[in-house]
Structure 1
Amino acid sequence: MTAIPQGSTRRATLVSATCALVVTGAALAGCGSDDPDAGTNGVGKLSPEQIQSRTRTAAKSAAAVRLSGTVVTSGRTYTLDMRLKDDGGTGSVTSKGATFRLLRIGEQLYLKADADFWDHADGSDGDAAAAGKLDGKYVKVPQGDPAHKKFSGFTDKDVLLDGLLTLHGTLATDGHYEQSGVRTIRITGDKGSGGTLDVSLEGKPYPLRLARGGGAGTLRFSEWGKDFAVTEPAKGETVDYGKQLPTS
């Protein structure tokens, strides 16, 4: 029997130890299974254009989703925590320190906020008595009211996702990552200046995290396909404002 040189044994031990280490997002190359897409849904092997197309299709086909994070639009930052599905949505929105709730059932949008929100909704001191009547109530938002156009998009799954899940500029892949314990592939627009999107490599290729280009907010997506109920608020909790709402 030929003896194994002691140095070879040391080298073999060192290689085994090195292969036990894992780099965040991907295994070290050259260590047994060096394919970061092994056991995944395979989208990591696609072009960035194909990945973006697949994730948009998956998102559109999902019955429901939860969306949380920030969106910056027209210089104003909104912090969202919304649950959305095809026929409605519900959740909270915070802007300029004020938090209000939105509820949409079909075409009917409701807005629920405290008296201070309504008293200063138009940027000035309003009618405190009128604001008190709206305090903590689900206020029906007329479809022709500017507030309906402004806020209904936050409750519309297709409108919101269509507007968000498009990266701008030249697309590229930017490695393997992990979001909440789920392996992802990241794609970017213009090296990140046009946004970055993490797409699940497990199960359906749902989007899990979006960083919008130009610092326009960061959003996380979860609870894909998990249904929830949207029900009309009780009559005692509802106010029909009957005219154009104060500008918020």
Structure 2
Amino acid sequence: MLSKRLASTTAIGLLLVAGATACGDNDKAAADKATGGKAAAAPGLDTEKLTAEEIQKQAKEALAGAASVKITGSFNKDTDQIAIDLAVDTKGQCKGTLGLPGAGKFELLGDGKQVYLKPDAEFLNSATGGKNPQAVELLKGRWITGAQSDPELKELTSACDLKELTKTFDDSKATNITKGSAGTVNGAKTFSVKSKNSSGGEVTLHVATEGKPYPLRLEKSGKDGGQMDLTDIDKPLTVQAPPADQQLDFSLFKDKVQAA
């Protein structure tokens, strides 16, 4: 039902597990966007001397040291295309949306203590197949709580922890790691690293070449293909919990639906 549809979005782990990741700062305007307006401290990425593996490693370490990041884009998971627009930090805070184009979206909000999910009407109708108006009415305009303790939804909460996301890097599964070429991502100077993942798809990681080598874009081909951009790196997040009268515990929601 609804929870199954929501759980499919745990494919967010693909954002940081494509086998290679590279990124770096850019020119002044683009660097400000990528790093939240903070000046870059690192001297830049020496793409002539570094191997593809070394560039990948530096990008991974740079992202692991970031306090926050905003991820936007879309990727395929099974038969679904997942759209993401989510800012997340190391304090368990997050703010943004996950969605299925043509089938609605839900907001994701984390204040460091609790994670809240708020599906829109289109998402609810699609997830229930239009066969459970009680569920749609109960959740309309409300935030779902209790996701961390519910076995069907708890995996979603990992999307609100940047440290957990960075753990999903698995460089050992990448093969044929090679250098790509210089380019730009959202106005930032980059250098790409290419590799093959375990499913045979090609992964292209665009790494910033000025300042810290943050990964700025991840592209993946194949059945789980897609593109994700990373911006607002280290930009502080401010998140407030929704009003109590707009919250609904997921366990209570399930009880009410079953009773109906």
TM over 0.5: yes
Distance apart, 1:154 and its partner CA: 3.0
Determine whether 1:233 maps to 2:237.
no
Aligned position for 2:176: 170
Give the TM-score of the pair, scaled to structure 1. Answer: 0.73
Aligned position for 1:137: 142
Tell me the amino acid that sits aligned with residue 81 of structure 1.
D
Determine whether 1:102 maps to 2:96.
no
Determine whether 1:81 maps to 2:85.
yes
Q: Aligned to 2:97, which of 82, 88, 92?
A: 92
Where structure 1 has 5 or more consecutive residues not aligned to the other structure, the ranges are: 1-38
Tell me the amino acid that sits aligned with residue 245 of structure 2.
G
Q: Which moved more, 1:146-155 or 1:224-233?
A: 146-155
Q: Aligned to 2:158, which of 129, 143, 153?
A: 153
Q: Aligned to 1:211, which of 215, 219, 222?
A: 219
**Larger of the two Rg values belongs to structure:** 1
Distance apart, 1:179 and its partner CA: 1.1
Distance apart, 1:123 and its partner CA: 4.1
Higher relative contact order (CA 8 A, sep 6+): 2
Distance apart, 1:190 and its partner CA: 3.8
Q: Structure 2 vs 1, CA of residues 122 and 139 (structure 1 numbering), >3 Å: closer, same or farther?
A: same
Tell me the amino acid that sits aligned with residue 197 of structure 1.
L
Over the aligned positions, Cα root-mean-square deviation in angstroms equals 2.7
Distance in 2, matches of 1:219 and 1:142, equals 25
Determine whether 1:42 maps to 2:51.
no
Task: Report how many aligned residue pairs link the two structures.
Answer: 207
Distance apart, 1:213 and its partner CA: 4.1
Distance in 1, matches of 2:227 and 2:141, equals 29
Distance apart, 1:235 and its partner CA: 1.2
Distance apart, 1:130 and its partner CA: 3.9
Aligned position for 2:59: 55
Distance in 1, matches of 2:83 and 2:139, equals 23
Q: Aligned to 2:205, which of 173, 194, 197?
A: 197
Determine whether 1:184 maps to 2:193.
no
Distance apart, 1:241 and its partner CA: 3.2
Q: Which moved more, 1:102-111 or 1:116-125?
A: 116-125
Distance apart, 1:139 and its partner CA: 1.2
Q: Structure 2 vs 1, CA of residues 164 and 91 (structure 1 numbering), >3 Å: closer, same or farther?
A: farther
Distance in 2, matches of 1:124 and 1:146, equals 24
Look up the SS of the partner of 2:106 in the other structure: strand
CA contact (8 A) 1:138 1:239 kept: yes
Where structure 2 has 5 or more consecutive residues not aligned to the other structure, the ranges are: 1-41
Look up the SS of the partner of 1:143 in the other structure: helix
Q: Aligned to 1:121, which of 127, 133, 137?
A: 127
Q: Give the fraction of aligned pairs with identical amino acids, expressed as a percent.
A: 27
Q: Which moved more, 1:229-238 or 1:160-169?
A: 160-169
Aligned position for 1:71: 75
